[in-house]
Amino acid sequence: MAKLLILGGGISGHTAALHARSLLGHQHEVVVVTPNSKWNWIPSNIWVGIGLMNQEQVTFDLGPVYKKKGITYIQAKAVSIHPEGSQDNSSPFVSVSHTSPTKIGENEEINYDYLINATGPKLKFEATKGLGPEHNSLSVCTYGHATETSAHLDEAVARMKKGEKQKILIGTGHGTCTCQGAAFEYLFNTEFELRKRGVRDKAEITWISNEQELGDFGVGGMHIKRGGYITHSRIFTESLFTERGIKWITQAHVSEVEKNQISYEQINGTEGNEAFDFAMLLPPFSGVGMKAFNKTGEDITSILFAANGFMIVDADYTPKNYEDWSAEDWPSTYQNPTYKNIFAVGIAFAPPHPISQPKKSVKGTPIFPTPPRTGMPSGVMARIVAYNIADMIKGKESEPKRKASMAKMGAACIASAGANFFNGTAVSLTMYPIIPDFHRFPETGRDLNYTSGEIGLAGHWIKHLLHHAFIYKAKANPFWKVVPE
């Protein structure tokens, strides 16, 4: 009997658990450790943040799903990994601290034969002074944050209905943020919502981002086919901002968030302040802070994790100049090179380098997006890792043979730009590959036959349909596998 232990019950961890359970006979055990009792379809948090949905519509309890599928569920936070065991425990194990109400604070050692790290990120609000819901800005990173943000938006609308002007600021709250797409969606949903509520004329809306230019989205921008023409995503995005009357500040690192004002620094050395009445600013990410120890108790965290806290996998982490980066640097099996029974998927793995070109301000402050690894790519890599581990447990393979490099993976993204059944819109983007490969596609880094962008009502219908489809899949309802990652 083999035991697969999965740390994290988000999109990637949950996907890996469901696939592993369907592949492995019940003589093998699948265990999920996650500190949260609920699964959250995070892409729809932006709709919670404008009041279109409530948190019950984007979450469900994990316990009943895992009980139905025969997956062992432990509500706890992983604290440390012991890949060689210890002097008292000869098997590899993870030390966890329980978070369930009945066991809160209790510690436990959970043995494993194979381990998948799918813990996702730590929301590093502390990287910017005054950033975050506990201080002076808002967030949609969790359903709780999004619910609070919706209430603040209602208050701003109430003031506008009384005739007050409101300054709305949305974007990234640090120079190394990722997930610009989520902030982009929230920006345009807010603008749409203000028009729907009849107060758009009372709002001045500004976007602030660490992107080098609009349309970068942390993937270095892209050339897209649209209406028979090849257009850069910067032109596509700038036209959307101009059409909606939204101002923008790019190449910006937010250095402090005060009660009604931010301070920021730009790459060219410009320093500025921007006043606001309502600010939704995303934080940067880091690993969750797990430690690692060998059999004698020596700290080996640096063997398992990069300096940013994300897990080291089969990528090429050799320091290189931007001009020397290659698509081949990116991992394909997500296996730790030292401990072959440990894998990391989704945001939990350490990328070898950014996708967008890294930049620093004249003061040396890093200002560039870090790589997005969420949504479709995280689900695909989770499935591939689950299949590889199942093959090894069953004795079909001695090492991972299936591969899912983001440099050879396409992605489709539908970004809501106004949620309404009859006149809402969404930006529908496809790209292949996710990581630009200038050896295969020397002109643009991507295959223009599979890289495209459109905006329209049909995209909103698809976005809404996918919301229900992915929650149906995550609940492991009949034929859940039909819904793609």
Which three-class secondary structure state does DSSP give residue 266? strand
Average pLDDT, the chain: 96
Q: Residue 93: pLDDT above 80?
A: yes
In 3D, which of 348, 305, 313 has the Cα closest to residue 330?
313
pLDDT tens figures, 129-174:
999 999 999 999 999 999 999 999 999 999 999 999 999 999 999 9
Q: What is the token pair recorded at 470?
A: 């992915």
Q: Residue 453: pLDDT above 90?
A: no
* C-alpha triplet 77, 80, 82: angle, nearest 5°: 135
Beta bridge partners of 416: 426
Please enumerate in sequence order all residues whose Cβ is within 8 A of that of 443, keeping only pairs 6 or more positions apart, or say none: none
pLDDT tens figures, 392-443:
999 999 999 999 999 999 998 998 998 888 888 999 989 999 999 999 999 9
Can you say how many angstroms the Cα of residue 175 is from the centroid of all Cα atoms in its chain? 17
Q: Residue 220: pLDDT above 80?
A: yes
Percent over 90 (pLDDT), the chain: 92
In 3D, which of 216, 208, 186 has the Cα closest to residue 42?
186
pLDDT tens figures, 59-78:
999 999 999 999 999 999 99
Can you say how many angstroms the Cα of residue 307 is from the centroid of all Cα atoms in its chain? 19
Give yes or no for a contact between 336 and 117, defined as CB atoms under 8 angstroms apart.
Answer: no
Q: For residue 26, what pLDDT is reported?
A: 87
- Taking residues 446-461, report their average pLDDT: 91
**Terminal C-alpha separation, the chain:** 29
Domain 3-122+286-393: which CATH number of 3.40.50.300, 1.20.120.160, 3.90.1170.50, 3.50.50.100: 3.50.50.100
Q: Is 200 exposed, middle or buried (0-12, 13-18, 19+ CB in 10 A)?
A: middle
Radius of gyration of the chain from its Cα atoms, rounded to whole angstroms: 22
pLDDT tens figures, 239-293:
999 999 999 999 999 999 999 999 999 999 999 999 999 999 999 999 999 999 9
Q: For residue 179, what pLDDT is reported?
A: 87
| Single pTM value for the model | 0.96
